[in-house]
Structure 1
């Protein structure tokens, strides 16, 4: 594995375990058993690493949301795939508010990402309506409410739930999944409705 890739993977692990603020480039270099100079050959500072990781997270998210791919999975599997990504890059969802206030470039990337996710959400919703997995929402205000609620919850749930947990961990992800399932359940149809109701009763 190339050093540049190792830097990113090590950074993800350290950021997830200790938080972005507490981790320095020296910590990353030490965890990799390389010199700080070797790290700086690839990245000038921690901010560059964060930007690169955000690009990676965004790309992986868009891959999960590709209409052709989504067509091959059930809505619940789609939810699971998204929450796997939330867990993999959980430091972003825990700290994004503070990170984007500190870094103008990251803030701009975040806004662009959210705008793209809103568009992808509409595309996916229309696809699921055509496939009989969701009911058609005629009221545009209600449609906007559902989309914004989903994005607001999915981008902040880790910070919210973990602040109330004595020992936060993977179970936070399961709570997030149930909240998304419950939010979407009234708008599902056919087999998807049955699947969601079964999950919520379990």
Structure 2
């Protein structure tokens, strides 16, 4: 593993464990086993490290180049995969709004991605209707369902934190179940059977 990747690996561990506020570049350098000067050779500041981690997360998710799923099972499998990626980068899910306020470059990236992802969700609604997986929806209902899925996707971990308990990986990954439940009232009978089959019901 090259030094730059080691820095990102250790930064991710520290941010997930302690949050970004209490972790400095000196902490990251020490955990990596390098001098602060060596760290600054690779990254200008902590904000740049956070941006690189955000970019790594979005690359792992691969949402931008993702083809629309052929089946509901494919869609739910992808939801579960995305949830595992989010868990690996969970500090971003917990702190993203605050981090965006501190870093205009990160803010611009996140806003662009959010708009792109929302358009993908609307395309998904159309795709599922065309395949007979969900009942015909009005424009208002398409946006409502896309909003619901987006809210679960982006704020599920934050919601769990409001209960004042430590959020476990199992709890965080339950977001895919919540998305499934949100879709359920709009699924065709055929789609419900398919969903139950792929979920082992």
Tell me which interval the TM-score lies in, with the shorter structure as reference length.
0.7 to 0.9
The residue that corresponds to 1:97 in the other structure is 97
Quickly say closer, same or farther: Cα 1:64–1:198, change in 2 above 3 A: farther
The residue that corresponds to 1:51 in the other structure is 51
Q: What displacement does 1:63 show? A: 4.6
The residue that corresponds to 1:112 in the other structure is 112
Q: How far apart, in 2, do the equivalents of 1:85 and 1:130 lie?
A: 29
Q: What displacement does 1:45 show? A: 0.4
Q: What displacement does 1:170 show? A: 1.0
The residue that corresponds to 2:133 in the other structure is 133
1:63-102 paired onto structure 2 within 5 Å: 63=63, 66-67=66-67, 70-71=69-70, 74-102=74-102
Q: How far apart, in 2, do the equivalents of 1:121 and 1:190 lie?
A: 22
The residue that corresponds to 1:178 in the other structure is 177
Q: How far apart, in 1, do the equivalents of 2:70 and 2:15 lie?
A: 33
The residue that corresponds to 1:160 in the other structure is 159
The residue that corresponds to 1:25 in the other structure is 25
* Residues 75, 192 of structure 1: 8 Å contact kept: no
Q: How far apart, in 2, do the equivalents of 1:55 and 1:11 lie?
A: 14
TM-score by length of 1: 0.87
What CA deviation, in whole Å up to 9, does each residue of 1:132-190 have, x standing for no partner?
433332x1011111111211221111111023142321132143222211111122235
Q: What displacement does 1:114 show? A: 0.5
SS at match of 2:154: helix
SS at match of 1:164: coil
* Residues 134, 188 of structure 2: 8 Å contact kept: yes
In structure 2, stretches of 5+ residues that fail to align are none
SS at match of 2:62: helix
In structure 1, stretches of 5+ residues that fail to align are none
Q: How far apart, in 1, do the equivalents of 2:37 and 2:50 lie?
A: 18
**RMSD between superposed Cα atoms in Å:** 2.4
TM-score by length of 2: 0.88
Q: What displacement does 1:195 show? A: 4.9
* Residues 181, 200 of structure 1: 8 Å contact kept: no
